[in-house]
Amino acid sequence: MTAPLLEVAGLAKTFPAGRRRVIQAVDGVDLTVHAGETLGLVGESGCGKSTTGRMLVRLLDPSAGRITFAGQDITHLGQRRMRPLRRELQMIFQDPFSSLNPRHTVGEIIGTPLRILRPEVDERAAVRQMLDRVGLAAEHIDRYPHQFSGGQAQRIGIARALITEPRLVVADEPVSALDVSIQAQIINLLAELRRDLGLSYVFIAHDLAVVRQVCTRIAVMYLGRVVEVADREQLYTAPAHPYTQALLSAVPVPDPLVERTRTRIVLSGDPPNPADPPSGCAFRPRCPKAADLCRVERPELVRTSRGVVACHFPEPAIPSGYEGP
């Protein structure tokens, strides 16, 4: 097997929270992204998925751990040595409007990374071509962000990320601010661009139905840690971690016939506060299977016969041929 495009080991991030207290937002995350794949990073608010994404592209400095991109350790690269790599590592943000400068034209917004990172290229021609590529008219080049709808603005954000011909794009909730009729347009566009340009994505999202549509492999996060990693098929048909199971069972299916007959695991309580994490397994206070062991010993993410999972009592493997819930 070829070396992974991106490898992350023991990644951690703490934020100061006043009075010498810290919040452990990300706490020892290991991840691998292979060329051409879309890795989903899912979890509820505060689980550290966005913080992880920002560290992957070095928008945030990790407190601990190592990030290896295309064989090179980039964890501590300074701004100047990071610059050539910025071309290869790009990001798409959730809110297209707040991530586009309202005073810059579309041409300036998309052209700026090109001017800085690939000065040899004919900027205007490349921008026009990229606009066409993401489904906008080349004539839009001199317009301003407010003249676009939410979906179109997200297309501009995508164009800006792709203009430098990156190899890896971290997309942080790229469709969650969009209406459903527009969401599908952007999901399809991202898939098409991945196929045509040979991109890899880290796709950060809270919507498990969207993630299933977009990602080939998925890592589930809970309170700063990865609790399960699996291929799409396995994760959605035979989740091993009780949290993954509860998460999947909580997502409503847009079909009343299905909804009225489904059995659901309704968790009690809310996700824990990262400033005051529970002992042992972070999911323990809400876990229907929690036992004494879970209180004292934090389960590590290990490969078991039930998949890669951080749980003392993972779900039994489901016989092959099972069609899912």
Residues that bind other proteins (CB under 8 A): 44-45, 149, 151-152, 179-185, 187-188, 191, 206-210, 212-213, 232, 236, 246-248, 250-259, 264, 266-271, 286, 324
Cα–Cα distance between 313 and 290 in angstroms, integer?
8
> Which one, 86 or 325, has the nearer CB to other proteins?
325
- CA distances (Å), origin 238, targets 211, 245, 273: 16, 8, 28
> Which one, 108 or 150, has the nearer CB to other proteins?
150
Query: Cα torsion for 192, 254, 173, 93, to the nearest 10°?
Result: 70
Q: What angle in degrees, to the nearest 10, is found between the helix axes of 106-117 and 150-162?
A: 10
CB of residue 180 vs other proteins: minimum separation in angstroms? 6
> Which one, 84 or 252, has the nearer CB to other proteins?
252
Question: Nearest to residue 96, comparing CAs of 46, 6, 159, 26?
Answer: 159
> Which one, 7 or 173, has the nearer CB to other proteins?
173
CB of residue 273 vs other proteins: minimum separation in angstroms? 8
CB of residue 78 vs other proteins: minimum separation in angstroms? 38
> Which one, 229 or 287, has the nearer CB to other proteins?
287
Six-digit token string for 240: 């091993």
DSSP 256: H
CB of residue 18 vs other proteins: minimum separation in angstroms? 15
Of how many residues is the chain composed? 325
User: 69, 89 in Cβ contact below 8 A?
Assistant: yes
Main-chain phi, psi angles of 161, to 5 degrees: -70, -35
CB of residue 146 vs other proteins: minimum separation in angstroms? 13
